C-alpha cells in the first residue's frame, strides 16, 4: 500500500507538471518585432550616421536613417508573399548627401512652396531661401531632410518604432522661433506605418511637416498602371511656378478626378505642367484619421497602399522631375514617373493666403498630426 501511494503521488505530480507546461506553451506570445542599429556612414565633419532596420511580426521590414529621418527601404510582400522594396532611394549615405529630390525624407519647417520666399507674420516680414526657382521649397537649403535627428528605438507587444527629435533654432533658414520637433515612426503587426508629428515653439512660426517617400508598389518600372483613388472633390489651381492662385477648383470632369480609382497614367499628359505630370494639392473630403484619404493598387503584384490622415490635404506628385540622371539602389536609373508621392499636408503658400487654413503655430500651442500608410495585397 505504501509503494502504491508513492506511485500515485508521482503520477499526480507528473500530470501537474505536464499541465503547467502546456499552459505555459498556450500563453507564450510570438517573438516581438525586431530593431537593429548599424552604421550608415559619416557626415563631412566625421559625425557617425545610423541606419535602423525595423521588422514587424508580419514580415514587413523598413530601414530609416537618422539623417533626415529618411526611409531608405520598405520591403512589402505581394499577393504571393514575395517581397519587394517599394520606395526609391540609395544604397549608401553618399547618395543622400548629394543633391537629391527628397527621397524618403522628413520635410520641414514648411512642406511644399512659399511664394518668393517671403511671408509676413505679426507685422514683420520674413525672408527665406529661394531654392526652387523664384520660390522657397521644403524648408530651404538645409531643411529637416538634411539634418541629424536624435533617435530612440522602442518595441511594444504589437509594434516596433523609432522616435526622432530635432530642435530647429530661431532664425534657422529664416524662420522665427525655436521649434522643438518629435516625429515618431511606428510599424505595427497589422502592416500599418504610422507617422506622428509633434512640435512646440517659443515664437509664432509657420509649420507644415510631411514625409516625402517616392513609392512604386511594383518595385520597379514606371507607376502609370498603378490605380489611384483620392477622396477629394477640389484641388488647388497653380500658376506656372506651382504656387496656388487661390482658386479651389472642382475635380469633376477634369484630369484631377480620382474619386473613382483609375490608372495614374490615364490622364497624366492632360494634367499639364512643365515637366508634364501631377504635382498638385488635393483638398481632402475626409473628416479625420479614420477616413480613407487615398488608396493605390498595383495590379501585377496585388500590392495595396491605403492612406489615412488628419491633415486637410495631400500633395500628389508623379516624379515629373526625375530625368534619368539619378542612379539609385543597385545602380538603378530613375526615369520620369518611376515613383509617386502622397504627401499629407496643409496647403502650399498658406502663410501668404489668408483664405487657406492657417499653418501658424504659436507659443503654448501643440502641433500634432498623424498619417498612416497601410499595406496589404490581394
In the chain, where are the structural domains located?
48-377
pLDDT at 2: 42
* Residues pairing with 334 in the sheet: 326
Please check the confidence at residue 17 and state whether its pLDDT lies above 90.
no
| Closest to 255 in 3D by CA, of 292, 275, 282, 285 | 282
43 with 49: CB under 8 angstroms? yes
- The predicted-structure confidence for 83-113, as pLDDT tens digits, reads as follows 999 999 999 999 999 999 999 999 999 999 9
**Nearest by Cα to 143 from 164, 168, 177:** 168
Cell numbers at residue 254, please? 477634369
Q: What is the pLDDT of residue 24?
A: 40
Helix H or strand E encompassing 22: helix 2-27
Per-residue pLDDT band for 59 (boundaries 50, 70, 90) equals confident
Percentage of the chain with pLDDT > 70?
A: 92
Report residue 91: phi and psi, to 5°.
Answer: -80, -20
| pTM score over 0.95 | no
Angstrom distance (rounded) from CA 250 to CA 283: 10
* SS (HEC) of 119-142: EEECCEEEECCCCECCEEECCCCC
Indicate the pLDDT class of residue 31, thresholds 50, 70 and 90: low
> Does 28 score more than 80 pLDDT?
no
At 30 the pLDDT is: 46
Angstrom distance (rounded) from CA 128 to CA 279: 22
- CA pair distance 66, 284, nearest whole angstrom: 31
- pLDDT of the residue at 208: 98
Q: Cβ contacts of residue 34 below 8 Å, gap of 6+?
A: 53, 54, 55, 155, 160
d(CA 111, CA 99): 18
* Chain centroid offset of residue 123 CA: 34
Task: Give the mean pLDDT of the chain.
Answer: 93
Which cell is 244 given?
A: 496656388
CATH number of 48-377: 2.70.98.10
The grid cell for 11 is: 503520477
Q: Is 200 helix (H, G, I), strand (E, B) or coil?
A: strand
pLDDT digits (tens, 9 = 90+) for 142-156: 999 999 999 999 999
**Catalytic-labelled residue, pool 172, 173, 298, 343:** 343
CA 111 remoteness from chain centre: 12
Nearest residue to 226 via CA among 283, 268, 282: 268
Please give the biggest Cα pair distance in the chain. 101
C-alpha 371/C-alpha 310 separation (Å) is 7
Tell me if residue 153 is catalytic. Answer: no
Q: Does the pLDDT value for residue 296 go beyond 50? A: yes
Q: Among residues 112, 68, 70, 128, which one has the least CA distance to residue 359?
A: 112
DSSP 327-348: E-GGG-EE-TTS-BEEEEES-T
In this predicted structure, what is the pLDDT of residue 32? 65
- Whole-angstrom distance, CA of residue 293 vs CA of residue 306: 8
Considering the candidates 138, 212, 280, 346, report the single residue annotated as catalytic: 212
Q: What is the DSSP string of 222-274?
A: -STT-EEEE-EEEEEEE-TTS-EEEEEEE-TTSTT--SS-EETTTTTGGG-TT
Q: Which residues of 20-34 are buried (b: 16+ CB within 10 A; e: fewer)?
A: eeeeeeeeeeeebbe
**If pLDDT is split at 50, 70 and 90, which confidence band does 11 have?**
very low
What pLDDT digit, counting tens, does each position of 164-191 carry?
A: 999 999 999 999 999 999 999 999 999 9
Question: Hey, what's the cell of 25?
Answer: 506553451
Is residue 83 flagged as an active site residue?
no
Q: Average pLDDT in the 202-215 region? A: 98
Amino acid at each position: 500500500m505504501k509503494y502504491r501511494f508513492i506511485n500515485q503521488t508521482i503520477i499526480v505530480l507528473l500530470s501537474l507538471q505536464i499541465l503547467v507546461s502546456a499552459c505555459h506553451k498556450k500563453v507564450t506570445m510570438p517573438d516581438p518585432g525586431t530593431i537593429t542599429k548599424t552604421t550608415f556612414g559619416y557626415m563631412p565633419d566625421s559625425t557617425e550616421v545610423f541606419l535602423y532596420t525595423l521588422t514587424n511580426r508580419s514580415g514587413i521590414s523598413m530601414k530609416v536613417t537618422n539623417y533626415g529621418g529618411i526611409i531608405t527601404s520598405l520591403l512589402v510582400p505581394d499577393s504571393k508573399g514575395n517581397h519587394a522594396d517599394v520606395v526609391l532611394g540609395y544604397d549608401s549615405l553618399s547618395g543622400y548627401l548629394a543633391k537629391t529630390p527628397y527621397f524618403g525624407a522628413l520635410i520641414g519647417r514648411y512642406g511644399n512652396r512659399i511664394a518668393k520666399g517671403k511671408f509676413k507674420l505679426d507685422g514683420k516680414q520674413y525672408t527665406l531661401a529661394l531654392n526652387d526657382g523664384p520660390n522657397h521649397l521644403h524648408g530651404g537649403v538645409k531643411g529637416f531632410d538634411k539634418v541629424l535627428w536624435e533617435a530612440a528605438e522602442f518595441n511594444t507587444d504589437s509594434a516596433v518604432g523609432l522616435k526622432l527629435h530635432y530642435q530647429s533654432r530661431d532664425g534657422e533658414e529664416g524662420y522665427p522661433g525655436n521649434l522643438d520637433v518629435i516625429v515618431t515612426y511606428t510599424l505595427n503587426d497589422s502592416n500599418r506605418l504610422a507617422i506622428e508629428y509633434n512640435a512646440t515653439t517659443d515664437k509664432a512660426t509657420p509649420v507644415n511637416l510631411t514625409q516625402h517617400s517616392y513609392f512604386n508598389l511594383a518595385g520597379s518600372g514606371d507607376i502609370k498602371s498603378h490605380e489611384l483613388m483620392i477622396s477629394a472633390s477640389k484641388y488647388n489651381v497653380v500658376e506656372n511656378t506651382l504656387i496656388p492662385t487661390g482658386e479651389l477648383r472642382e475635380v469633376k470632369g477634369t484630369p484631377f478626378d480620382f474619386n473613382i480609382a483609375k490608372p495614374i497614367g490615364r490622364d497624366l499628359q492632360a494634367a499639364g505642367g512643365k515637366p508634364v505630370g501631377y504635382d498638385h494639392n488635393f483638398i481632402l473630403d475626409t473628416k479625420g484619421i479614420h477616413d480613407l484619404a487615398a488608396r493605390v493598387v498595383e495590379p501585377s503584384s496585388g500590392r495595396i497602399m491605403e492612406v489615412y490622415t488628419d491633415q486637410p490635404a495631400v500633395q500628389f506628385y508623379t516624379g515629373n522631375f526625375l530625368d534619368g540622371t539619378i542612379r539609385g539602389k543597385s545602380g538603378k536609373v530613375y526615369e520620369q514617373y518611376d515613383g509617386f508621392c502622397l504627401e499629407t499636408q496643409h496647403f502650399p503658400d498658406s502663410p501668404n493666403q489668408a483664405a487657406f487654413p492657417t499653418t501658424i503655430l504659436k507659443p503654448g500651442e501643440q502641433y500634432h498630426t498623424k498619417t498612416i500608410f497601410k499595406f496589404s495585397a490581394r
